[in-house]
Amino acid sequence: MLSSNIKGVTNGFPLRIQVQKVVEREVELNPDFLKSMFSKIDWKALVDASRSIGYTELPDEVDPSMLDSDEFLRRFHHALLQLHIEEGALFCPETGRRFPVIKGIPNMLLNEDEFLKFLNIAVCAHV
């Protein structure tokens, strides 16, 4: 999951999702990969993102012992690797800045005015 790249934003994670089209892509289940990724995932952010695109099969609370469950691993795998936002947008929770998603690719480039503001902050910080 992504966070806002706007300089000075302190509450830019997780980005909110607006979905127009979600696609499912077949990805081979790899339990070892999922187990290694589990501790690196912000679970609440994954659950919220999954629900915002219509997938409600993840539990609110988890613990590492759940990694022994094939059913849990299938659901985790589906949410993490098989659901893709094809069209829609990501929104910064702090600024409301919209980052469009087109053909599965989020456009996180800053507008010129946002970039100039970023440069001004960076220059002032080094003076």
pLDDT tens column, 58-112: 999 999 999 999 999 999 999 999 999 999 999 888 888 889 999 999 988 877 7
Rounded distance between C-alpha atoms, residue 83 and residue 80, angstroms: 7
Contacts of 124 (CB under 8 A, 6+ apart): none
| Mean pLDDT value of segment 38-48 | 95
Give the domain ranges of the chain: 16-124
What is residue 127's predicted lDDT score, i.e. its pLDDT?
A: 46
What is residue 124's predicted lDDT score, i.e. its pLDDT?
A: 47
Q: How far is the CA of 85 from the CAs of 64, 65, 101, 119, in angstroms?
A: 28, 30, 7, 31
What is residue 26's predicted lDDT score, i.e. its pLDDT?
A: 97
Does the domain at 16-124 match CATH 3.50.50.60? Answer given as no
Which of these, 100, 70, 86, lies nearest to 25 by C-alpha position? 86
What is residue 123's predicted lDDT score, i.e. its pLDDT?
A: 44
What is residue 8's predicted lDDT score, i.e. its pLDDT?
A: 59
pTM tops 0.85: no
pLDDT tens column, 110-124: 777 766 665 555 444
Q: What value does the CA radius of gyration of the chain take, rounded to a whole number of Å?
A: 17
Which of these, 19, 13, 18, lies nearest to 41 by C-alpha position? 13
